[in-house]
Chains A and B, each alone.
Chain A
Amino acid sequence: MNTTKFIDEHLFPGQIGYFLTILSLVASLVATYSFARAFFSKEISLQAQWEKLAKMAFIIESVAVASCFVVLFYIISNHLFEYKYAYMHSDKNLPYQYLLSCFWEGQEGSFLLWSFWHCVLGLVLLATKKKWGESFAGVMMVLNFVQFCLATMIVGLYIFDMKLGSSPFLLLREEMNWPILSRPDYLHLIKDGTGLNTLLQNYWMVIHPPILFLGFASTTVPFGFAVAGLIKKKHDWMDKSLPWATFSAGVLGLGIMMGAAWAYESLTFGGYWAWDPVENASLVPWLTLVSAIHACIIYRKTGSSLKLTYLFFGISFLLVLYSTFLTRSGILGDTSVHAFTDLGMNAQLLGFLLIFVIPYFVLFFARFKHIPEPQKEEAIDSREFWMLIGSLILFLSAVVIISITSIPVYNKLFGTKIAPPEDAAFAHNQVQVFVAIIIGLLTAVGQFLKFKGTAKAFLIEKLKLPLLVTIVITALVYIFIGVAFKEKGIGFEGAIYVAMFASIYAIVANIFFWVTMQKAKLKSAGSSIGHIGFGMVLLGILISSSNKTVLSWNTTGISPLRVESNKSPAGNPRENITLFEGIDTDMGKFMVTYVRDTFDILNKRFFELKFKEKKTQSEFFLYPDVLKNNKGMEGFSANPSSKHYWNKDIFVYVTSFQDNSKEDTTTFKPHQIALGDSIFYSNGYIKLEKVLVNPNSSRPAGTNELVLQLAITSKEGLKYTANPGIVLEGMNLQSNVDTIKAQNLVLSFNKVIDQQKGMLEIGVKESAALTNLITLKAYEFPFINLLWLGVIIMTFGFGLATWNRAAKLKEK
């Protein structure tokens, strides 16, 4: 046993933390058991007794979880680096607003966050208990059991050599084998933590994880209703669970898109969505949840689709668990750029998944025959028929996405060596564009359909005008924006156009529906506004992705000898352009100049880039930055910068940079040269093409100017021109040197040696101290704001639907 007395350690917060995690573990178990007893007991008095106990346990659990949160925050914000969590995820220089991000950087903190939201949701359920009737105890039972499982994740206990969870209150010296940690004064040697990954030092990373985890946590509630309904064979919980479901879908959707906004702003894959497994894993529960909401509405109105409602609500929650397993177990390995680190809890994570999957499906299939289904058929012109088709398509699209995302799981299970396709994103896009078409059209037409059947004349009359407007708008989009994406052939391009039409139709028809049928009132407008937002999201994705253009096409500086390799076999465009400090570089529509670079206090290096639009001569500056030695990374990590216009974004980031701080010790070497002659320098030759006398007509009076036109050709065949000159003012002679930074050349015009023979002297200096350069990628994303606006409107729609449905519950 280690009996060293360590100096200046703060062990108290950790001890409280351990106590609180164990308390929450025990309390959640007690709450689960008591709510279960209350739920299953037939006697009212017994029910009340158990519920009282359960309530107490739940409140204790909530207090414990919330306090745990506070203690961990205390540890991080006071920089108590004796704790591994603070050491690994924060440092002293971290700006205050990012202390919260440290929380979610590690698995333990994000489990705690998830657990915290369950407590909040549970307290809301508790406070409004009367509304939920018989389901209440059942929902709380499920919720508390999830809480119990989450508590095991952070308890950090060893049971018979098996590690259960990973505690955020572990001490550094308990975990690491560094020799210095056995010294009593080790804390004085640890000056600082390893810090928060700079990619996460972004305001989106403060807000995105809490929203996303609230979305995850809230899927538990409809799941709880479904479990309670299946157990008791009572299928009257739809009205009660719908506001929770719409709330969950709204929050989850918002959380996912905030993650996309973060990826867009701070990752350099050049976009907001890359079909990365981690992204897919969070998208898929959202899709199934939306399916579940629609199936649930069908059941309420017509009595059919009950089985699907149970299936979809169940699967939405189970997919949240599955995505937890995928992103936290390290199984994604090489396929994802942003999964959590493997904490060696794979078995436990798998257990967490299976302990819900197996009982739920056993229960579902045991009850399958007893779930009522009306014998009558849905009419083909009814709303429920097409709503059902729509939710099935969304569900199957989720199935396709998650099947593809699970490839690493198959490899693990079957020992195969399957890898993603050559163009993994396109493999998704070519399928999902058709989903977008069908869902877009259904979203447009579906609103005007009525349950149980719709009169044809009514439908045609109502859909005529929106269709006309849509055709006009689509034509305008076609003419003024179009689709720049031709790489995948005419079929895919055509599909994008059809999908654009469908999403515009979805927007227009829902606006018409809201204005003409709902008289533009906010009551019960949740669905039409939500669908308008959804249509805008689709359209924003289609336009911005299909018109994403590379601005930094490398047309300058490429050697003519290499032209043949310009079209690389991989079809990989040459998207990087080299910028030399102080030199204007032609980049398509813009002239770009790397003006200078500066460091800020966090050691971020900002590059000031001046963009000048050739056509309008308007200028703007962008400041992409790089951070050297970011958290264990040896090189640098780049942060993009973008210029936002109302209709497009210019998006740039630095792909590499080269500093040259070598001393400039070389001197000018004189060379004699005549018109038409060439001289050699170390990397090519210089030819004197012309001597210009007074080329600049606006020179000051009384001065004379001689300017040389030198053509420089490098070994690689690169061509440059330089114009060194001299200015004579009376007896004063001023030499104007010219530099070719790309060749490290400085050229001067020294003097005229023999005017008769045209013999001149030029100075050539080859310096190594010239080349400060960066390579840059620049993209243009048109109409990306449509996407963000769509997300906001859609979230507002979900919020409205939640509000209205919750208000209706009150009236009862």
Chain B
Amino acid sequence: MKKTHIALLVLIAAAIVVLISYTGDLSSYETIASAKQKEGKFVNLIVKMDKSIPVQYDPIKDPNLLEFNVQDSLGGKISVVYHNTMPTDMEKSERLVLKGKVQGEHFECSAIVMKCPSKYKDNPNAMKNQPVTISN
């Protein structure tokens, strides 16, 4: 066996080890109910805002505190604390992906990914039946 072949095998083994160890860091998408059972574990929630309870955000008191409530498609509900500013069009967002952990009664959120009707690009399907810039 040539040295280069040995090196090749060693490197491939290293890459595999890296990938396997990476899988240990992976998280998962959960429902609110299942996330509550895994208190303290980092999870991703796909939810929408529960608009029956007002969003608490007052940059005068603390620009880094946002509190709001969400629910998921299975009806689970939880309150969320996010130590950052309120994302711009959060209230318009169709759904939110929240990253964080359940802590006691609330969800301690570290990042919010928004799924908007149109975010970075137009969504032609969202516009299909309704014009945007028409004036009669």
Show the binding face of A for B, using Cβ within 8 Å: 88, 91, 105, 175-178, 180, 189-194, 197, 199, 304, 334, 337-341, 343, 377-378, 380, 385, 388-389, 392-393, 396, 399-400, 403-404, 407, 417-422, 427, 431, 554, 557-559, 562, 565, 568-572, 574-578, 631-638, 655-656, 658, 716, 718, 742, 771, 773, 775
Complex alpha-carbon distance, A559 and B60, angstroms:
11
Q: Are B120 and A570 in contact (CB under 8 A)?
A: no
A578-B60 contact in complex given A177-B129, A180-B134, A570-B100, C-beta closer than 8 Å: yes
Q: Are B121 and A578 in contact (CB under 8 A)?
A: no
Q: List, sorted by A's number, 13 A–B pairs whose CB atoms are closer than 8 Å.
A: A177-B129, A337-B120, A341-B122, A389-B11, A392-B8, A392-B11, A396-B14, A418-B27, A572-B110, A656-B63, A656-B88, A658-B59, A773-B59
Contact of A388 among B4, B86, B119, B120 (CB under 8 A): B4
- Closest Cβ–Cβ distance, residue B101 to chain A (whole Å): 7
Instruction: Please name all residues of chain A whose beta carbon is closer than 8 Å to the beta carbon of B64 when the two chains form the complex.
Output: 554, 574-576
A716-B61 contact in complex given A178-B131, A633-B116, C-beta closer than 8 Å: yes
Instruction: Please name all residues of chain A whose beta carbon is closer than 8 Å to the beta carbon of B88 when the two chains form the complex.
Output: 633-638, 656
Q: Are A633 and B119 in contact (CB under 8 A)?
A: yes
Interface size of B in residues (CB-CB distance below 8 Å): 65
Contact of B133 among A194, A385, A399, A565 (CB under 8 A): A194
- Closest Cβ–Cβ distance, residue B110 to chain A (whole Å): 4
Instruction: Please name all residues of chain B whose beta carbon is closer than 8 Å to the beta carbon of A658 when the two chains form the complex.
Output: 59
Q: Are A199 and B108 in contact (CB under 8 A)?
A: no
Tell me which of B43, B124, B130 has the highest count of chain A C-beta atoms within 10 A of its own C-beta: B124
Instruction: Please name all residues of chain A whose beta carbon is closer than 8 Å to the beta carbon of B29 when the two chains form the complex.
Output: 417, 419
Q: Are B59 and A334 in contact (CB under 8 A)?
A: no
Q: Are B44 and A419 in contact (CB under 8 A)?
A: yes
**A-B residue pairs, 7 tightest by C-beta:** A635-B88, A421-B25, A570-B110, A574-B64, A635-B89, A632-B118, A655-B85
Instruction: Please name all residues of chain A whose beta carbon is closer than 8 Å to the beta carbon of B135 when the two chains form the complex.
Output: 189, 191
Q: Are B84 and A180 in contact (CB under 8 A)?
A: no
Interface SS of chain A: loop
Instruction: Please name all residues of chain A whose beta carbon is closer than 8 Å to the beta carbon of B8 when the two chains form the complex.
Output: 392
Complex alpha-carbon distance, A235 and B104, angstroms:
66
Complex alpha-carbon distance, A575 and B132, angstroms:
36
- Closest Cβ–Cβ distance, residue A762 to chain B (whole Å): 23
Q: Are A389 and B7 in contact (CB under 8 A)?
A: yes
**A-B contact sample (15 more), CB < 8 A, given A421-B27, A572-B83, A576-B64:** A88-B122, A180-B134, A189-B136, A190-B133, A343-B124, A378-B3, A400-B18, A419-B44, A421-B42, A569-B103, A569-B108, A570-B100, A638-B88, A771-B60, A775-B63
Q: Are A334 and B25 in contact (CB under 8 A)?
A: no
Q: Are B59 and A419 in contact (CB under 8 A)?
A: no
Contact of A190 among B46, B115, B129, B134 (CB under 8 A): B134
Complex alpha-carbon distance, A718 and B60, angstroms:
10
Q: Are B7 and A392 in contact (CB under 8 A)?
A: yes
Instruction: Please name all residues of chain B whose beta carbon is closer than 8 Å to the beta carbon of A304 when the two chains form the complex.
Output: 4
A340-B122 contact in complex given A422-B25, A570-B101, C-beta closer than 8 Å: no
Q: Are A577 and B134 in contact (CB under 8 A)?
A: no
- Closest Cβ–Cβ distance, residue B17 to chain A (whole Å): 10
Q: Are B3 and A377 in contact (CB under 8 A)?
A: yes
Would you call B53 an interface residue if the criterion is a C-beta within 8 Å of the partner chain's C-beta atoms? no
Mark interface residues in B92-136 (1 if CB within 8 Å of A CB, else 0).
Answer: 100001011101000011100101111111111001111111111
- Closest Cβ–Cβ distance, residue A215 to chain B (whole Å): 22
Would you call B19 an interface residue if the criterion is a C-beta within 8 Å of the partner chain's C-beta atoms? yes
Q: Are B120 and A194 in contact (CB under 8 A)?
A: no
Contact of A718 among B59, B61, B84, B120 (CB under 8 A): B61
- Closest Cβ–Cβ distance, residue B116 to chain A (whole Å): 7
Complex alpha-carbon distance, A304 and B81, angstroms:
59
| Chain B positions 1-25 with a Cβ under 8 Å from a chain A Cβ | 2-4, 7-8, 11-12, 14-15, 18-19, 22, 25
Complex alpha-carbon distance, A190 and B127, angstroms:
14
Contact of B2 among A378, A404, A431, A565 (CB under 8 A): A378
Would you call B56 an interface residue if the criterion is a C-beta within 8 Å of the partner chain's C-beta atoms? no
Complex alpha-carbon distance, A771 and B63, angstroms:
14
Complex alpha-carbon distance, A634 and B90, angstroms:
10
Contact of A334 among B100, B110, B113 (CB under 8 A): B113
Instruction: Please name all residues of chain A whose beta carbon is closer than 8 Å to the beta carbon of B43 when the two chains form the complex.
Output: 419
Instruction: Please name all residues of chain B whose beta carbon is closer than 8 Å to the beta carbon of A634 when the two chains form the complex.
Output: 88-89, 92
Q: Are A396 and B3 in contact (CB under 8 A)?
A: no
Instruction: Please name all residues of chain B whose beta carbon is closer than 8 Å to the beta carbon of A431 when the two chains form the complex.
Output: 18, 22
Complex alpha-carbon distance, A341 and B122, angstroms:
7
- Closest Cβ–Cβ distance, residue A517 to chain B (whole Å): 26
Instruction: Please name all residues of chain B whose beta carbon is closer than 8 Å to the beta carbon of A343 when the two chains form the complex.
Output: 124
- Closest Cβ–Cβ distance, residue A183 to chain B (whole Å): 11
Q: Are A403 and B133 in contact (CB under 8 A)?
A: no
Instruction: Please name all residues of chain B whose beta carbon is closer than 8 Å to the beta carbon of A422 when the two chains form the complex.
Output: 25, 27, 42, 99, 110
A178-B130 contact in complex given A378-B4, A421-B26, A572-B83, C-beta closer than 8 Å: yes
Contact of B118 among A396, A417, A633, A773 (CB under 8 A): A633
- Closest Cβ–Cβ distance, residue B91 to chain A (whole Å): 8
A194-B122 contact in complex given A189-B135, A334-B97, C-beta closer than 8 Å: yes
Complex alpha-carbon distance, A718 and B58, angstroms:
14
Instruction: Please name all residues of chain B whose beta carbon is closer than 8 Å to the beta carbon of A190 when the two chains form the complex.
Output: 131, 133-134
Instruction: Please name all residues of chain B whose beta carbon is closer than 8 Å to the beta carbon of A189 when the two chains form the complex.
Output: 134-136
- Closest Cβ–Cβ distance, residue B58 to chain A (whole Å): 9
B12, closest chain A residue (CB)? A396
B103, closest chain A residue (CB)? A569
Complex alpha-carbon distance, A400 and B20, angstroms:
10
Complex alpha-carbon distance, A773 and B60, angstroms:
8
Mark interface residues in B54-83 (1 if CB within 8 Å of A CB, else 0).
Answer: 000001111111000000000000000101
Complex alpha-carbon distance, A404 and B26, angstroms:
10
Q: Are B133 and A197 in contact (CB under 8 A)?
A: no
- Closest Cβ–Cβ distance, residue B72 to chain A (whole Å): 13
Complex alpha-carbon distance, A343 and B121, angstroms:
12
- Closest Cβ–Cβ distance, residue B127 to chain A (whole Å): 7
Instruction: Please name all residues of chain B whose beta carbon is closer than 8 Å to the beta carbon of A334 when the two chains form the complex.
Output: 46, 97, 113, 115
- Closest Cβ–Cβ distance, residue B114 to chain A (whole Å): 10
Q: Are A404 and B22 in contact (CB under 8 A)?
A: yes
A571, closest chain B residue (CB)? B110
- Closest Cβ–Cβ distance, residue B123 to chain A (whole Å): 6
Contact of B22 among A427, A558, A631, A773 (CB under 8 A): A427
